[in-house]
Structure 1
Amino acid sequence: MTAGVRIPLCVQCGTHSNPCRCKVVGPTLGFLAFAVAAIVEWPVGALVYCFRHMKGRRIMAHPAAVVYPSVSNAFPI
């Protein structure tokens, strides 16, 4: 058996941004950007949350609320 690297593949169907009504590239890149942003922002947000609750919540929500939708919607395919 060989150990291979598995790349996450996200599919979004039912979209009207292209004729096929399915997106693969946008959601996949959006997920990868979300994961990178979350690795950085969640620990920072948790530290800030100890002192400023609302600011910490906004920092921890940033990958899901801003990064993923921005990157996912940037690619129509």
Structure 2
Amino acid sequence: MHMPVCIECGTRSNPCRCRVVGPTLGFVAFAVSAVIEWPVGAVVYVFKHMKGRRIMAHPATVVYPKVANSIPI
């Protein structure tokens, strides 16, 4: 099994100006939440379009940024 590694360079949040741990854990949290929320959002979308879109967008708009930004390295 191959683990994805995300690298963000050019940031000023640490002396090295590169981040690996935060974006990588953010991606893993995004993937886990997307597996759960996208099918639920698709079912809800059939009945309530905007609510379904918000559910399906939640991993990208809330989960990934919160996890990635909470770890400065």
TM-score, normalised relative to structure 2 = 0.99
CA RMSD of aligned residues (A): 0.4
Query: Any residues of structure 2 matched to 1:55-66 within 5 Å, and which?
Result: 55-66=51-62
Unaligned runs of 5+ in 1: none
Runs (4+) off by over 3 Å: none
1:6, distance to aligned residue in structure 2 (A): 1.0
**Structure with higher helix content:** 2
Work out the number of aligned pairs and report it. 73
TM-score, normalised relative to structure 1 = 0.93
Whole-angstrom CA distance in 1 between matches of 2:53 and 2:60: 12
Larger C-alpha radius of gyration, 1 or 2? 1
Select the residue among 12, 28, 41 that pairs with 1:32: 28
C-alpha deviations, 1:5-56, integer Å up to 9, x for none? 2110000001110010000000000000000000000000000000000000
- Look up the equivalent residue of 1:52 and give its one-letter code: K
Q: Give the share of equivalent positions with the same residue, in percent.
A: 73
Whole-angstrom CA distance in 2 between matches of 1:7 and 1:59: 26
Unaligned runs of 5+ in 2: none
